A and B are shown apart, each in its own frame.
Chain A
Amino acid sequence: MTINIETTSNISQSHHHQGEGDWKKYFGWSTDHKVIGIQYIVTAFMFFLVGGIFAMVIRGELITPEADLVARSVYNAMFTMHGSIMLFLWTFPILVGLGNYLVPLMIGAQDMAFPRLNAAAFWMVPVVGILMMASFLVPGGPAQAGWWSYPPVSIQNPTGNLINGEVIWLLAVAISGVSSIMGAVNFVTTVVKMRAPGMGFFRMPIFVWAVFSAQIIQLFGLPALTAGAVMLLFDLTAGTHFFDPSAGGDPVMFQHFFWFYSHPAVYVIILPVFGIFSEIFPTHARKPLFGYKIVAISSMLIAGVSGLVWVHHMYVSGTPGWMRMIFMVSTMFVSVPTGIKVFAWVATLWGGKIRLNTPMLFALGGLIMFVFAGITGIMLSSVPVDVHVNNTYFVVGHFHYVLYGTVTMGIYAAIYNWFPKMTGKMYSEGWGQLHFWLAFIGTNLNFLPMHPLGLHGMLRRVASYAPEYTFWNVIASLGGFLLGMSTLPFIINMVASWLDGEPATANPWRAIGLEWIVASPPPHENFDTIPVIISEPYAYGMNKSLVLEQFQEEAVVIPQSLEEQSAGSDSESLSAENSRDK
C-alpha cells in the first residue's frame, strides 16, 4: 500500500517566480511567521559560527598542557562567551525559528497568534548578540565567570567600573529572557487557539507537541532565572548583598535560581529536536510513528519532570544528603518518558522502507549519539558517580553529546528536511552527505575523548592541565577543528542551492503534513482556505487523506486506489526524487 503523491505543478510554478526584490523582506520588520522564522534561523547560524570560532580558540589552547596560546583571562572569556552564545544565540533562537516557520503551517494557521509580538521578540535577538559582542570592547573585557555566572566570582568586578563585561552580559541575558517569554506566550496561544478545524490535540504532529511542551517550560522557568539575574545585577551595580557572602548574602541561593530554570532549559532545547526526529523518521522510513499518543504525552511528562530535577547540578554545593537522594531519583525518572520516545523511534524504523538521504542521516546520527548521552546522563545523576565526575570533562562530554551530538544534528536534519519548503529549491544531496559524515566523525572525535579525561579527573574550565591528559586532548582538538571544517560544505550547499538549486515541488519527500500540501515556498497567507483535518498525522501506508476532500484541489496528498496509482502520477514523484539527486 502506498500513498499516492501528485504534484500540482502550477502551485510551485506560480510561486517560483516571486518578485526579484524579495530578499529585502528578510532584512526588515516583517510580521510573516515564515520570514521571522528564517530571520531567526539565519541570525542564529551567524552566532553559531562566532561561538564555533571561540570553541576553536579553546581547543587550540587545550592542545598543549600549558596555558600558552592566549592569556588566562582571554581563555576564561572564551569559554564564558562560547557557552553563552551557543545557548542564548544559537540553540534557543534557531529552534524558536524552526518552530516559528513550521508550527503555523503544521496546524493549518495563517500566522502566529500575535504577529507583531513575534517580530518584536525576534528583533531582541540581534540586540542580545550585539551586546555580547560589544562587551569585548569595554575595559576589563567581557564576562569571565562562566555561563553559570556564579557569585562571588561574578560580582568581583576587578575594574571597578559600573559598565563592565559582567553587567553587559547580565543585561543581554535579561533581554534574551524577555524575548523568550514573549515567544512562549505566542507559541502557547497559537497552539491552543489557532489549530485548523478537525485538528484535535491528538492529531497534532509531534513537533507541535514538542514545541508546545517546551514553551510551557519557558513560561514557568524563565521568571526564576530572570529574578536571579536581576538580583545579581543589583549586587553588581547597586550595592545590594543578595548573594555576597562577605555581607551575609547566600551565594548558593543563586545556584538554585539559576538551575531552577537552566536545567529545564535543556529540555526547552531538546524537546523540539525530539519533535524533529518524530517527523523525519516516519517520513523517510515510510511508516506511521510508532505509539503516537504515548510519544505525544511523554513530551508533557518530560516538561513536568524537568521542573523537579535542578539540584542534580548542585550535589557537591553543600547540599544535604536527603536532598541529594530526592533529586537523584527524580532525575533518573526523566529517562522513562525519554526512553519511551527512543524505543518508539526504533520501532518506527523497524520494518520501514528507509531512505538514507541527508535529513535521515542527521536524524539517525543524532539518535545514536542521544542514546549515548542519555546513558552518561544516568551515570551523572547517580550521586556517588557525580561526586567524582562533577565539574570534570565527563560532564562536558555528556552535554556536548546532547547539545552537538543530538540538538545540532537534529537542527541540521530539520534544515535539510524543510529546506525545499522554505526556499522552493532542492539542496545538493552529495554535499549534504559529505557534511553529515564530517560532522558525525568530528563530533565523536571531539567529544568522546572528554569522557576518559573526566573519569581521570580533568576539570572543566581549566586553561592548563597536567601533562598526563595530553593525548586525549590532542584528539579532541583535532575533532574540534574537523567540526569547524564541517560547516563549510553546509554553508556552500545552502547558499548555492538557495541561489541556484533545482526547483522543489510542493512535497518532494511525499510526506504527510499540512506544510506539504501548500506550495514551496508557501504563499504569504499559507492556506487560501483553512483546511479541515480528517485523519491522524502519520498515516503512512494507510491510504487516508489528511484533509477534507474539498481542499484537495490545493492539496498534494490525494488518496487513490492501488490500481490507479501505478499509472501516471508515479512519474511525477520520480522526477521529484531525481531532481534531488542532481
Chain B
Amino acid sequence: MKIRDILILIAIAILLSAVSIQIGQWSYSWLPPQASTESGLIDNTISFLVTLGSFIFLGVTGTVIYSVILHRASEEDLTDGLPIEGNITLEVVWTVIPVFLVIWIAGYSYNIYQQMGIQAPGHGSHPNMLMDAAYAETLNSSGKENLESSDSLVTPVENTVENIQVDAKQWAWVFRYPESNVTSTELHLPVNQRIRFALQSEDVIHGFYVPAFRVKQDIVPNETINFELTPTRIGEYRLSDSQYSGTYFAAMEANVVVESAEDYQKWLHQAAKQKPSIANNQAAQEYAQNEQQEFQNGWQTVPPAAPPLVNYHT
C-alpha cells in the first residue's frame, strides 16, 4: 500500500469520526427531556452507540456507493472483475475488530447498568443480587397479601425513600400512597427523591413507562415488582402502559406531576381530606359509548374494570 493511500485512508477516518461524533451529539435532541437520574445515563449510552453506529454505517455505505459509482461497467463491457477470492489478513481483521467492538459496547452497557443499579438504595440488604438492579427485583410471587404488607419493606435506613403502590388493571392506573392513605389516578412525585414503586396488576401483564424517565418495567399479575427511580425535573409527564393489554391498551395513560417537596406534601394533605369519588376513565367511557351505538361490528371485547374510586382525580 502506498503512503499516499494510507494518508487518504487516515484523512477519511478522521472526517468520518468528526461527522459521527457530531451525529452522536445530535442524538440527545432526538430524546424527550431528561427527568430522572437514569435519563442522563441512558442518553449517554444512546449517544455513544449512535456515534459508533454512524461511523460504521457511513463507512460501509460510503464504500458501497463508491464501488457502485466508480466500478460500474458499461453496457458493452463483458469482462469480469479481478478474480480475488479472499484475503486472510483482511478477513481476520474484520472478524477481530467486531469482537473488540462488541466487548467494548457490552462493557460500556454493563457499566451504565451497574450505575443505574448502584443508585438504588437497599442493595446492601441483597448482596447476592449485586448484579440485579434493584429497580426491577421480583420480591414475591405468593399473591396479593403483599399489597397490604408492603410497608414492612421500608426499613429505617431507607426512610428517605418514598413508597408508592401502583395498581394496574384493564384499563386504569391507581396510585396508592400508603403513608398518607391517599389514592389517586394522577401520579404525584417529589423531585430529587428516591421513589420506590411496588408494581402490581389485577388482570393481565401491563408495563410501567414514562418516556422522560427512560425506564420501563413490566407488571406481571400475582407478583409485586419493586421498581425505583429518582425524578429530577419539575414538570408534567405522561405514564403509559407499555405492554399490550387488550382492547383499550392505548387509552391506558396517566398524568405524572413532578413537584417540589413542599408542593408534594401540600398535595398529599389536600388529597387525604377529599372523600373518595369515581374517577374518569377513558376505557370505560368508550366502552359505554360503543354499547349505545347502533352500528357495531359485533366483536365482543373484555369489559373494562369499574372506574377507580380514589381521593384525587382530574
Contacts and interface: CB of A to CB of B under 8 A. Distances in A.
Contact of A317 (B31, B68, B94, B218): B218
B83 A245 contact: no
Which of B63, B205, B251: most chain A Cβ within 10 A? B205
Given A245-B222, A290-B86, A387-B216, A353 B81 contact: yes
Given A321-B131, A328-B109, A340 B95 contact: yes
A140 B207 contact: no
Contacts of A252: 220
A510 B300 CA distance: 59
* Contact residues of B: prevailing secondary structure: mixed
B119 to A, nearest CB: 13
Nearest to B221: A245
B300 A158 contact: yes
Contact of B45 (A353, A356, A371, A385): A385
B53 A290 contact: no
Contacts of B300: 139-140, 158-159
A322 B81 contact: no
B6 interface: no
Given A328-B106, A384-B109, A321 B117 contact: yes
Nearest to A288: B85
A251 B218 CA distance: 12
Contact of A350 (B71, B75, B78): B71
A221 B191 CA distance: 48
A387 B116 CA distance: 11
A478 to B, nearest CB: 21
Contacts of A342: 60
A332 B205 CA distance: 28
Interface in B270-313: 286, 290, 297-303
Nearest to B214: A388
B98 A354 contact: no
B84 A288 contact: yes
A146 B32 CA distance: 27
Interface string B142-153: 000000000000
B157 interface: no
B242 interface: yes
A316 B109 contact: no
A466 interface: yes
Contacts of B131: 321-322, 325
B71 A383 contact: no
B218 A384 contact: no
Interface string B161-194: 0000000000000000000000000000000000
Contact of B132 (A156, A321, A339): A321
A391 interface: yes
Nearest to B104: A332
B129 interface: yes
B209 interface: yes
B19 interface: no
Interface stretch (A26-34, A403-411, A455-463): A455-463
A179 interface: no
Which of A248, A371, A382, A384: most chain B Cβ within 10 A? A384
A577 B73 CA distance: 13
B244 A153 contact: yes
Contacts of A293: 86
Contact of B215 (A2, A76, A333, A387): A387
Contacts of B117: 321
Contact of B286 (A72, A321, A371): A72
Nearest to A160: B300
Interface string A368-389: 1001100110110011110110
Given A378-B49, A383-B109, A316 B56 contact: no
A349 interface: yes
Given A71-B290, A74-B299, A332-B105, A382 B49 contact: yes
Contacts of B94: 339-340, 343
Nearest to A244: B221
A455 B220 contact: no
B137 to A, nearest CB: 8
Interface string B196-226: 0000000111010101101111101111010
Contact of B204 (A141, A156, A319, A349): A156
Interface in B216-246: 216-218, 220-223, 225, 238, 240-246
Interface stretch (A202-210, A418-426, A536-544): A536-544
A388 B215 contact: yes
B80 A465 contact: no
Contacts of B137: 320
A549 B284 CA distance: 78
A371 B65 CA distance: 13
Nearest to A155: B204
B51 to A, nearest CB: 11
B159 interface: no
B132 to A, nearest CB: 4
Nearest to A247: B222
B262 interface: no
B264 interface: no
Interface of B: 30-32, 41-42, 45-46, 49-50, 53, 56-57, 60-61, 63-64, 67-68, 71-73, 75, 77-87, 90-91, 94-95, 98-99, 101-102, 105-106, 108-110, 112-113, 116-117, 129, 131-133, 136-138, 203-205, 207, 209, 211-212, 214-218, 220-223, 225, 238, 240-251, 286, 290, 297-303
Q: Would you list the 10 A-B pairs with minimal beta carbon distance, nearest first?
A: A457-B211, A541-B80, A321-B132, A462-B250, A375-B53, A141-B299, A353-B73, A287-B81, A541-B83, A352-B81
Given A150-B205, A287-B81, A292-B85, 6 more contacts: A72-B251, A73-B299, A139-B299, A339-B98, A383-B113, A388-B42
30 contacts: A1-B79, A1-B83, A67-B250, A77-B299, A144-B299, A150-B243, A152-B205, A153-B246, A156-B246, A285-B71, A287-B82, A290-B87, A316-B207, A316-B242, A318-B138, A320-B137, A321-B113, A325-B131, A339-B95, A340-B91, A346-B60, A347-B84, A347-B87, A351-B82, A364-B68, A379-B46, A382-B106, A455-B31, A462-B249, A464-B251
Interface of A: 1-3, 67, 71-74, 76-77, 139-141, 144-146, 148, 150, 152-153, 156, 158-159, 245-246, 248, 251-252, 285-288, 290-294, 316-322, 324-325, 328-329, 332-333, 335-336, 339-340, 342-344, 346-347, 349-356, 364, 367-368, 371-372, 375-376, 378-379, 382-385, 387-388, 390-392, 451-452, 455-457, 459-466, 510, 536, 538-542, 570, 573-574, 577
